[in-house]
């Protein structure tokens, strides 16, 4: 089976790629940073030599449709799509810089929308497939300094719910994933030795588990929070 993962060069996306590869899935990967992406590919190919990995860098805030066209040009079945790419720009509606809402919507919503539209025709024809949208706890509850980021994640949640209803009749599953704080390089020098926040592998394991359910079951929502709650 083939899994497309955006934002795959680091953090949650990389962990999802490694988890699926460890279980024999073939990978189609993309991220904005070309060097980081190909370093990830080299690392995964060394760990999992039997897995077929294709990768190409795209800035999906501006080139989501081009990514979709490249995926389709591979002439391979897309069984699972993980819309993981995203960015966080802190701020508040009243004082964040001009253009932040537009850039957050482009990265966190429009990219998932356009890449999904690219792979849907094949899934609909086969009447199978699974789409994961990496939402956030910020999709469920507004918080201080969330601003345009939270707005864009609420929108991604709405997209996921709408898509779920549309795709039921075609046998295509849609899962929205809502992680709380996850330890990635964006946390800098944060000391997580006491496991105050989650590991990226925690999210990856849940995505894999949802992908392996029978055709009779769809995990519509996966909410993951640190054991001690949000920070």
Query: Domains of the chain (ranges plus CATH)?
Result: 2-224 (3.40.50.720)
Look at residue 197 in the predicted model and tell me its pLDDT.
84
Which residue in this structure is represented by tokens 């024809």?
125
Which residue in this structure is represented by tokens 């940073």?
33
Contacts for 103 with CB less than 8 Å, ≥ 6 apart: 61, 87, 89, 148
The 3-state secondary structure of 165-178, one letter per residue: HHHHHHCEEEEEEE
Maximum Cα–Cα distance for the chain, whole Å? 52
Look at residue 143 in the predicted model and tell me its pLDDT.
84
Closest by CA to 209, choosing from 224, 229, 230, is 224
Look at residue 35 in the predicted model and tell me its pLDDT.
97
Report the side by side order of strands in the sheet with 172-179: 53-55, 26-30, 2-6, 80-83, 129-134, 172-179, 221-224
DSSP state of 97: P
Look at residue 230 in the predicted model and tell me its pLDDT.
84
Tens-digit pLDDT profile for the chain (231 aa)? 999 999 999 999 999 999 999 999 999 999 999 999 999 999 999 999 999 999 999 999 999 999 999 999 999 999 999 999 999 888 999 999 999 999 999 999 999 999 999 999 999 999 999 999 999 999 999 888 899 999 999 999 999 999 999 999 999 999 999 999 888 876 777 778 888 888 999 999 999 999 999 999 999 999 999 999 887
Look at residue 4 in the predicted model and tell me its pLDDT.
98
Look at residue 145 in the predicted model and tell me its pLDDT.
85
Say what the pTM is: 0.95
Which residues are catalytically annotated? 149
* Helices 34-47 and 11-22, axial angle in degrees (round to 10): 20
Contacts for 8 with CB less than 8 Å, ≥ 6 apart: 14, 16, 17, 27, 29, 30, 31, 37, 40, 55, 84
Look at residue 181 in the predicted model and tell me its pLDDT.
87
Q: What are the beta bridge partners of residue 131?
A: 81, 174
């Amino acid at each position: 089976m083939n899994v497309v993962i955006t934002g795959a060069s680091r953090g949650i996306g990389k962990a999802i790629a490694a988890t699926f590869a460890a279980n024999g899935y073939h990978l189609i990967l993309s991220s904005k940073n070309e060097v980081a992406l190909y370093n990830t590919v080299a690392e995964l190919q060394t760990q999992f030599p039997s897995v077929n990995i294709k990768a190409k860098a795209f800035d999906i805030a501006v080139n989501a449709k081009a990514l979709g066209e490249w995926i389709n040009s591979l002439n391979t079945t897309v069984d699972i799509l993980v819309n993981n790419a995203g960015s966080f720009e802190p701020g508040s509606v009243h004082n964040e810089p001009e253009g932040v809402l537009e850039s957050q919507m482009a990265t966190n919503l429009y990219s998932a929308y356009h890449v999904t539209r690219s792979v849907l025709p094949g899934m609909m024809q086969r009447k199978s497939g699974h789409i994961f949208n990496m939402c956030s706890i910020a999709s469920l509850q507004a918080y201080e300094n969330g601003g345009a980021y939270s707005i864009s994640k609420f929108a991604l949640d709405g997209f996921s719910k709408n898509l779920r209803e549309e795709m039921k009749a075609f046998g295509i599953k849609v899962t929205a994933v809502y992680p709380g704080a996850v330890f990635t390089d964006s946390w800098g020098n944060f000391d997580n030795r006491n496991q105050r926040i989650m590991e990226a592998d925690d999210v990856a394991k849940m995505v894999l588990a949802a992908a392996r359910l029978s055709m009779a079951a769809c995990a519509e929502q996966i909410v993951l929070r640190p054991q001690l709650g949000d920070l």
